[in-house]
Chains A and B, each alone.
Chain A
Amino acid sequence: MHKFLIRSFVSSLVLLFTLTVAAVAKEVKAAFVYIGPTGDHGWTYQHDVGRKAVEAAGFKTTYVEGVPESADAERVLRQLANSGHDIIFTTSFGYMNPTNKVAKEFPNVKFEHATGYKREHPNVATYAARFYEGRTILGTIAGTMTKSNVIGYVASFPIPEVIRGINSFTLAAQKVNPNIKTKIVWAFTWYDPGKEAEAAKALIDQGADVIAQHTDSTAIVQMAEKAGVYAFGQASDMDKFAPKAVLTSVENNWGPYYVDRVKAVANGTWNQKDTWHGIGDGMVVISGLDSQMPSDLQAKVKKLQADLASGKVHSFTGPIYDQKGNLMVAEGKTADDGMLAGMMTYVKGVEGDIPK
């Protein structure tokens, strides 16, 4: 409750500020609505890096951080739309309904909703990144680098995005090393350094020597560093937090897309669409590879990266079976976007059940 109060208070202050300085100029102005603080060094932080790229491209930007996914979001969106912003990016799944609702009231303002699928009005577009492509690379590295054949995976919440990541990671790891076992621990948080560290420690104590994560803080890579095992950075390059442990990171790179879309508004070429970009379009970036990786693995990863980018390789290429042995994707076929978007079953080889 107290968090909510502070957030509302801070958001109102920021809004008041933006309303006061709302310029009279006719140039395109972009607004960003964030779920977390820009200081999370994770999800919101990376969106804010994207916002700064828009600013660097010569556009005015505003952001409101810590906006709850509730009626509060509608209020914030309405005020941003009212105060002369031409394009508004809403950067969390839970803003889906508020975005569409407010978009109806402001047909001249463009709305861009991240990770959603509802485009109920012509001025609403959606965008997301194919992070699972990055996890194919991480799986390949993990399967090669593990000595104990136990790989730990700290997961956040059982939603398709996370399940897709676990599957993509495990399929890739099994391909290079059929003996591996992926142990999954659900932390039920996106962002709680203490809890994430404890989850990682539990996996390490149980013999995992490579740790992957789908939560946002740097606590896990630091724990891996302390314990002398390998890990991967999430959302941003986390190498400096754990130089020995981090083999590579999967970075979220929103900047080019944001600049593109704001420019499109300025040129009058903005159109409604659904964007799902991966490594090929540069929305998912693989950080530099650690020198501890043998050179043949590095070469293999580089090639895989190029093949994923060109579309020659798809993360979900058949035959893929689910845990019960039912065929999910037939031999020679690849999973279509509809299947990926709603993926809620583990593939064969992942241990345990998805929490319901």
Chain B
Amino acid sequence: MIVDINFVGLIIASIMASAVPLILASCGELITERSGVLNLGVEGMMIIGAISGFALMTVTGSLIIAVFGAMLAGVLISTIFAFLTQTLITNHVATGLALTIFGIGISAMIGKNFVGIPGKEFPVLFEGLKDTIPLLSPILFGHSIVFYFAFALPFITSYFLKKTKIGLIVRAVGDSPESASNQGINVRFVRYACILYGGAMCGLAGAYLSMIYTPQWIENMTGGRGWIALALVVFSTWNPIKILIGAMIFGGLTIIQFHMQAIGVRIPVQFLTALPYIVTIIVLVVISRDSRKIRLSTPSSLGKSFHKDN
């Protein structure tokens, strides 16, 4: 088969578009986890972002209000989680799971009135340049602003954690809340902030799905992407750049298997469908063989409650 170079570009562009919600949610959750908090409510926060974005877009007609509103909704729902785990010192795992169940339920309730309404067109940037460079044009041009933001985010996150003072504080809180507290850092405040930031990014990831990727509202439309985003954080060993790679692999395998089916490659379809998950497991196994590295990169106090007595 002759492979057209632009065809390859189109495939890569599709893969990148499908990776956007995973990158956004994973980078948000990564900051939360780096501060020592394990929030399993990613799926719930994403679906709340999805319905909030879609509902606001329909009601107000403004895409800007809708995008920021979805992020705010993510912040609000994550505030519940922050209050429970940081102020009332509840268990992170149980609270996070509850958040997901709550999010799915409440989004379905709000969403009842928004089923069957078509979404609005979201503007794309640099559309005029779409046919200028072979291979690269479909990859670089003609995407939404959220798309470009998502691909910048891992680098921004990496810089933030490694090079800034606030990033250092976040890491300190995650690795040793006691020492950080003794240094005069308000651990609870830092963790609150990181949880709310994670909520905002998950809200944006949800809004991308309901407003840009498949502009519509239907129940459970996040389809488990929140859980994949959570897995990606572990997969990346808490390194934002590796999130980018992981999200591309995962999104890529899903799309490539559809292409293989359409071309007519004679491999059992069930195997192709399972491929993204199989590869994820293999990569996880390969990574976890180096247990020392895992121990070093895992935030030491991840998932443990911190309670300052005075």
The judgment on whether A and B are partners is yes
Q: Mark A1-13, 1 if CB is under 8 A from B, else 0.
A: 0110110001000
B270 contacts which chain A residues (CB < 8 A)?
188, 355
B255 contacts which chain A residues (CB < 8 A)?
198, 201-202
**With A2-B101, A205-B7 known to touch, is A37 a contact of B108 (CB < 8 Å)?**
yes
Number of A-B residue pairs with CB-CB distance less than 8 Å in the complex they form: 123
Closest to B261 in A: A185
Is B178 interfacial (CB-CB < 8 Å)?
Answer: no
Q: Mark A111-128, 1 if CB is under 8 A from B, else 0.
A: 000000000000000000
Is A303 interfacial (CB-CB < 8 Å)?
Answer: no
Report whether A222 and B215 are in contact in the complex, using a CB–CB cutoff of 8 Å: yes
Report whether A193 and B18 are in contact in the complex, using a CB–CB cutoff of 8 Å: no
| Minimum distance in angstroms from A75 CB to a CB of chain B | 21
| Minimum distance in angstroms from A321 CB to a CB of chain B | 20
Report whether B262 and A183 are in contact in the complex, using a CB–CB cutoff of 8 Å: yes
**With A186-B269, A222-B216 known to touch, is A194 a contact of B223 (CB < 8 Å)?**
yes
User: For chain B, which range describes its interface: under 10, 10 to 19, 20 to 34, or 35 or more residues?
Assistant: 35 or more
Is A300 interfacial (CB-CB < 8 Å)?
Answer: no
Report whether A185 and B216 are in contact in the complex, using a CB–CB cutoff of 8 Å: no
Interface size on A, residues (CB 8 A): 48
A355 contacts which chain B residues (CB < 8 A)?
268-270
Is A167 interfacial (CB-CB < 8 Å)?
Answer: no
Is B111 interfacial (CB-CB < 8 Å)?
Answer: yes
Report whether B18 and A198 are in contact in the complex, using a CB–CB cutoff of 8 Å: yes
Report whether A184 and B261 are in contact in the complex, using a CB–CB cutoff of 8 Å: yes
Is B220 interfacial (CB-CB < 8 Å)?
Answer: yes
Report whether B214 and A222 are in contact in the complex, using a CB–CB cutoff of 8 Å: yes
21 A-B residue pairs with CB within 8 Å: A10-B105, A39-B112, A40-B218, A184-B262, A186-B273, A188-B273, A193-B223, A194-B209, A201-B258, A206-B259, A217-B216, A218-B118, A219-B214, A219-B216, A222-B118, A222-B119, A236-B116, A240-B118, A351-B264, A352-B261, A355-B269
B residues touching A (Cβ–Cβ < 8 Å)? Answer: 7, 10-11, 14, 18, 97, 100-101, 104-105, 108, 111-112, 115-116, 118-119, 209, 213-221, 223, 225, 254-255, 258-259, 261-264, 266, 268-270, 273
For the complex with contacts A39-B112, A41-B115, A195-B254, 5 further pairs of A-B residues with Cβ separation under 8 Å are A10-B105, A37-B219, A38-B115, A186-B269, A219-B214
A residues touching B (Cβ–Cβ < 8 Å)? Answer: 2-3, 5-6, 10, 36-41, 45, 152, 183-188, 191-199, 201-203, 205-206, 208, 217-219, 222-223, 236, 240-242, 351-353, 355-356
